[in-house]
Amino acid sequence: MHPHKFTLWVAIGSITMMFAGFTSAYIVKSNMAGWVPVQMPQIFYLSTVLILGSSATIYLAQQAFRQRLMARYRLLITVTAVLGLAFLVTQFIGFSQLWEQKVTLKDSVAGAFFYIITGVHGLHVLGGVVALLVIFARAYSAQTRYYSSTPIEVAAVYWHFVDILWIYLFVFFLMVS
C-alpha cells in the first residue's frame, strides 16, 4: 500500500472516532434539563445535494484520469472543487441563519454542539477543497506531466469520506432534533 494511502486510512479512522465522540457527547448532553435541540437550517438540504454531487464528480474525474481523458478530468476536478466551495458557502449561510435566530454558542448548549460538530466537519471539507485545488492546479499546469493516479485516488477517498461523514451528521441531527 502506498504510504499516502496508509496515512489517509489512519486519519480516516481517527476522524471517525472523533465524530463518534462528538455525537455520543451530544446524545448524553441532550438528556439534560432545559436542552433545546437545534432545528437544521433548510439550506443544509442543499448542502447535502452539493456534497453528494461533488462525490459523483470526483468519482468521474478519477475515471477520466485513469483513461487519460485529461480535458474531461480537468473539467470534472474543477466542478468538484466548485461544488466543495459551494457546500462551504451553504454551510456558512446556514450558520448565519441560526445566529439570526439567536442560536448562539453562549445561549444554547445544543447550538454550541451543533456549531462545533458541523464546523469541524466544515474544516475537514475545507482541507479537502485545498487538496482539490492543488490537484486542480497540477491538472492545468503546462509543466506537470505526472501521471501517477495516487494523488487523485487519495483525494477521492478522502472526499467520499467527508461526504459520508456529512450524510451521517445530517441524518443524526434530523433524528435527534
Classified as helix, coil or strand, 143 is coil
**pLDDT per residue over 13-34, tens digit each?**
999 999 999 999 999 999 988 8
| pLDDT classification of 177: cutoffs 50, 70, 90 | confident
pLDDT tops 90 at residue 144: no
Query: Average model confidence (pLDDT) for the chain?
Result: 92
φ, ψ for residue 104 (rounded to 5)? -115, 170
| pLDDT classification of 51: cutoffs 50, 70, 90 | very high
pLDDT tops 70 at residue 87: yes
Report the alpha-carbon distance of residue 170 to residue 45 in Å, rounded.
9
pLDDT tops 70 at residue 171: yes
- Determine contact, residues 125/86, Cβ cutoff 8 Å: no
Distance of CA 44 to the CA centre of its chain: 12
- Determine contact, residues 52/163, Cβ cutoff 8 Å: yes
